Amino acid sequence: MSKIEFQYTRLYLKKYLIDNDNPKADNADFINNRGAAAEDAYEKAFRSGLTPNQAREVAMHVLMEGFE
């Protein structure tokens, strides 16, 4: 994933939190940490042989864990 896609994960999470009136929407550390975890998950999944789309699914699961 490129840096733009990494930023996307954080923006996606922030919008989700705002849209759902979650108080964590203002917690930059939470959003950055969760985004970083999603990025790491993507990289590991891709390096393990998953396709980019499959790796993105893994990353989104990590990003949205507990909110779905």
What pLDDT score was predicted for residue 63?
97
What pLDDT score was predicted for residue 13?
96
Query: Can you list the domains of the chain with their CATH numbers?
Result: 3-64 (1.10.8)
pLDDT in tens, 14-49: 999 999 999 999 999 999 999 999 999 999 999 999
What pLDDT score was predicted for residue 68?
66
CB-based burial label for 14 (10 Å; 0-12, 13-18, 19+): buried
Q: Please report which confidence band the pLDDT of residue 3 belongs to, taking 50, 70 and 90 as the band edges.
A: low
Distance CA 36, CA 9 (A): 9
Q: Please report which confidence band the pLDDT of residue 5 belongs to, taking 50, 70 and 90 as the band edges.
A: low
Entry pTM: 0.84
